């Protein structure tokens, strides 16, 4: 369970807060989409939940424990993080990247056969076992994202926290990846992700949080929360513009 | 872990050690060394020539070979660790100002005290001061600590180089200046068994710690947030690993003076050969660096009748190697 209680957060003392009095609770097994315009605090919220930010004491709890009282190792066993698509400097092989997900479970010496099995199982789960020996930096964006998801799965956490997992991918890869994410959710994994596309939140189902100006505007089942008026209000669109955009399908 | 690559390097290194044993001013064969030293160890009565061989081997040749192996490993492994820590394959032990600080310390020892043991101690303290100054700069700008540390290293290097120049300027040109300049060029000709006795255990412990931390180093090489998400207390781990790498190269300065380039080029070349995974890369750079420095040191002590500074040869060999590895790396990029 992840719990946020009345969280105010600013990156510097004199700057206006990015998150302004946010409270929410995410149970295990849930799929949670976080939506909102650029700069509304989506990524900051994710980073706060991962313990990357110096949040005030008593505002973020993981499994009932204050996040800053938990060791990184213990945190890594509960929460796995899938960053936005990135390059990296060193051209590790795909298997080496996925094995990094096992670091918290055995920080010294090499990896055990169990670690290797878990890494391969994770690759199989997202159906990219054939890429195991390939250099990571030579993969396409969609493949890289699958590798990072496999690494998070190898980490064996209850929660998968993803920062805009499909941004930067082409149309086909977006849906391929969303299907994989939906399958993982159906297998009982808790998933928290940020997205720019309301229709993707509807596709994934579960619950949606609408975030604007660092405050929660709506919180509920995706199909109920994501309505035309709510989307208009969230992104400052006129009903005509939204209608036009929705008509432009094929 | 690529065990085959490690095994090949291990065999190459062992073969090279045996090959270079007879090389030197005092002509002697491997079998003669074996007979004399085993005789010496078993307490057998030795002939005059055998006693000479034992002396040359134990007091001169063996320490020098061990020093070459240790210094090569120390510079290369700490270079590889710095490269992963700063997520930049182009940094080296020089980046934190360790070598500059150590050279400055050496200058203090040579000019102000004219004492060899004090020179060693000061060079070590100088290395620590070099890192300290870099870290101080990184604390001044906490927003981007990694970048600030690199800039701090640059500042620290030029600061200590300027200080060294003052000592060069003040040095007695007949006696002190040549010694100082010679040290700055890098040489193994001064390494002795006593030095090794107190430097080697610490260096080996540091190298072992770094090599065993390979998985943590891998995760840290992916960036701050990812390392933390993978379960690593990144700030503390980074500090500990950088500190150990710095200790290991400061100690290498005591044995050899300033040898540039090795810490940059050896990890870079080996990364092309065995890949970036530190579980293989760190043992491979340890062996590769040892092999490289042993070969170059054997070259400088056998080609010319007068001893030639090792640092010059490593720079001359490393430069084209580095150019080649950069070109090769660029060509392979997607």
Please check whether residue A69 lies inside any domain of the structure: yes
Where does the pLDDT of residue B116 fall: very low under 50, low under 70, confident under 90, or very high at 90 and above? low
| CB within 8 Å: B277 and A92 | yes
Domains of chain B, residue spans: 95-187+224-258, 259-334
pLDDT tens digits for range B129-168: 888 898 788 788 777 766 777 788 889 999 998 998 888 8
Please check whether residue A188 lies inside any domain of the structure: yes
Cα distance from B5 to chain A (closest Cα, Å)?
Answer: 16
pLDDT tens digits for range B313-323: 888 898 898 88
pLDDT tens digits for range A131-187: 999 999 989 888 999 999 999 999 988 899 999 998 888 888 888 889 999 999 998
Q: What integer pLDDT is reported at residue B110 of this predicted model?
A: 75
In this structure, how many other beta carbons lie within 10 angstroms of the beta carbon of residue B64? Answer: 24
Q: Which residues contact B262 (CB under 8 A, 6 or more apart)?
A: B72, B75, B76, B79, B289, B292, B293, B314, B318
Q: Which residues of B fall within a CB distance of 8 Å from A79? A: 229
Please check whether residue A123 lies inside any domain of the structure: no
CA separation for the pair B213, B78 (Å, rounded): 12
List Cα–Cα distances, A78 to A45, A51, A131, in angstroms: 17, 12, 27
* Stretch 155-194 of chain A: residues touching chain B, C-beta under 8 Å: 155
Q: At what angle do helices B116-140 and B145-170 cross, to 10 degrees?
A: 140
CA separation for the pair A114, A132 (Å, rounded): 16
| CB within 8 Å: B218 and A103 | yes
Q: Which residues of A fall within a CB distance of 8 Å from B216? A: 103, 107
The residue with greater pLDDT, B327 or A87, is B327
Domains: count for chain A: 1
Q: What integer pLDDT is reported at residue B288 of this predicted model?
A: 96
pLDDT tens digits for range B51-91: 888 888 888 889 999 999 999 999 999 999 998 988 877 77
3-class SS at A100?
Answer: helix
**Which residue(s) pair with A68 in the sheet?**
none
Q: What integer pLDDT is reported at residue A4 of this predicted model?
A: 94
| Closest chain B residue to the Cα of A74, Cα to Cα | B231
A114 touches B: beta carbon within 8 Å: no
* Stretch 68-127 of chain B: residues touching chain A, C-beta under 8 Å: 84, 87-89
Q: What integer pLDDT is reported at residue B146 of this predicted model?
A: 65
On the question of pLDDT at B292 being above 90, the answer is: yes
Structure token digits, residue B268: 């870079």
Q: Which residues of A fall within a CB distance of 8 Å from B333? A: 137
Choosing among 1.10.630.10, 3.40.50.720, 2.10.210.10, 1.10.3470.10, the CATH entry for B95-187+224-258 is: 1.10.3470.10
Name the nearest CA neighbour of B71 among B184, B158, B179, B200: B200
pLDDT tens digits for range B195-215: 788 788 989 999 999 999 999
Where does the pLDDT of residue A188 fall: very low under 50, low under 70, confident under 90, or very high at 90 and above? confident
A103 touches B: beta carbon within 8 Å: yes
On the question of pLDDT at A38 being above 70, the answer is: yes
Least CB-CB distance to B222: which of A76, A88, A138?
A88
In this prediction the pTM is 0.88
3-class SS at A250?
Answer: coil
Q: Which residues contact B67 (CB under 8 A, 6 or more apart)?
A: B188, B191, B195, B196, B255, B256
3-class SS at B257?
Answer: coil
Let me know: does A21 contact A197? Beta carbons within 8 Å.
no
**Residue A67's domain spans which residues?**
2-84+159-247
B219 touches A: beta carbon within 8 Å: yes
Going by DSSP bridges, is the β-strand pair A190-195/A31-35 parallel, antiparallel, or unpaired?
Answer: parallel
On the question of pLDDT at B127 being above 60, the answer is: yes
For chain A, what percent of residues have pLDDT higher than 90?
68
Name the nearest CA neighbour of A147 among A105, A195, A72, A85: A85
Which residue of A103, A104, A139 to mutate against B (max B Cβ within 10 Å)?
A: A103
| CB within 8 Å: B226 and A155 | no
Q: What integer pLDDT is reported at residue B334 of this predicted model?
A: 53
Q: Which residues of B fall within a CB distance of 8 Å from A91? A: 275-276
B277 touches A: beta carbon within 8 Å: yes
Least confident of A25-34, A86-95, B68-77, B174-183: B174-183
Where does the pLDDT of residue A84 fall: very low under 50, low under 70, confident under 90, or very high at 90 and above? confident
């Amino acid at each position: 369970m992840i719990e946020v209680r009345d969280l105010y957060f600013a990156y510097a003392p004199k700057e206006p807060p990015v998150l302004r009095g946010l409270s929410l609770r995410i149970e295990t097994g849930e799929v949670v989409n976080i939506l909102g315009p650029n700069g509304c605090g989506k990524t900051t919220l994710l980073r706060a939940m991962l313990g990357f930010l110096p949040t005030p004491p008593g505002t973020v709890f993981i499994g009932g424990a204050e996040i800053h009282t938990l060791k990184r190792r213990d945190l890594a066993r509960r929460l796995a993080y899938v960053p936005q698509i990135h390059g990296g400097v060193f051209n590790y092989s795909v298997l080496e990247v996925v094995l990094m997900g096992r670091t918290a479970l055995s920080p010294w010496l090499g990896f055990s056969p169990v670690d290797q099995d878990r890494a391969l199982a994770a690759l199989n789960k997202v159906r990219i076992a054939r890429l195991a020996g390939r250099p990571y930096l030579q993969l396409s964006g969609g493949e890289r994202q699958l590798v990072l998801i496999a690494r998070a799965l190898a980490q064996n956490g209850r929660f998968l926290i993803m920062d805009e997992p499909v941004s930067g991918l082409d149309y086909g890869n977006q849906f391929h990846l969303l299907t994989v994410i939906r399958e993982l959710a159906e297998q009982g994994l808790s998933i928290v992700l940020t997205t720019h596309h309301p229709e993707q939140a509807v596709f994934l189902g579960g619950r949606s949080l609408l975030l604007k100006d660092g405050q929660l505007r709506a919180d509920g089942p995706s199909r109920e929360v994501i309505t035309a008026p709510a989307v208009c209000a969230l992104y400052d669109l006129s009903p005509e513009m939204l209608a036009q955009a929705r008509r432009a399908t094929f | 872990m690529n065990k085959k690559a490690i095994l090949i390097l291990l065999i190459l290194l062992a073969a090279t050690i045996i090959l270079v044993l007879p090389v030197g001013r005092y002509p002697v064969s491997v079998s003669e060394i074996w007979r004399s030293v085993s005789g010496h160890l078993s307490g057998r009565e030795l002939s005059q020539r055998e006693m000479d061989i034992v002396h040359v081997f134990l007091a001169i040749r063996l320490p020098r070979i061990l020093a070459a192996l240790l210094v090569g490993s120390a510079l290369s492994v700490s270079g590889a660790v710095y490269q992963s820590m700063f997520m930049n394959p182009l940094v080296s032990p020089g980046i934190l100002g360790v070598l500059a600080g150590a050279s400055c310390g050496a200058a203090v020892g040579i000019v102000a005290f004219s004492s060899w043991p004090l020179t060693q101690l000061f060079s070590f303290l100088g290395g620590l001061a070099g890192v300290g100054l870099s870290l101080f700069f990184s604390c001044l700008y906490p927003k981007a600590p990694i970048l600030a540390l690199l800039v701090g290293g640059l500042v620290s290097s030029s600061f200590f180089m300027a200080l060294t120049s003052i000592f060069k300027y003040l040095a007695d040109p007949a006696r002190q200046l040549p010694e100082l300049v010679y040290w700055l060029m890098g040489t193994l000709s001064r390494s002795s068994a006593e030095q090794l006795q107190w430097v080697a255990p610490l260096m080996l412990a540091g190298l072992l710690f770094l090599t065993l931390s390979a998985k943590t180093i891998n995760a840290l090489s992916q960036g701050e947030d990812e390392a933390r998400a993978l379960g690593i207390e990144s700030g503390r781990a980074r500090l500990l690993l950088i500190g150990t790498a710095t200790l290991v190269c400061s100690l290498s300065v005591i044995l050899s003076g300033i040898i540039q380039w090795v810490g940059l080029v050896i990890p870079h070349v080996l990364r092309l050969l065995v890949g970036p995974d530190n579980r293989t890369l760190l043992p491979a750079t340890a062996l590769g660096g040892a092999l490289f420095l042993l070969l170059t040191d054997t070259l400088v002590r056998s080609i010319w009748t007068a001893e030639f500074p090792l640092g010059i040869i490593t720079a001359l060999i490393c430069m084209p190697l580095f150019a080649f590895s950069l070109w090769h790396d660029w060509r392979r990029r997607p």
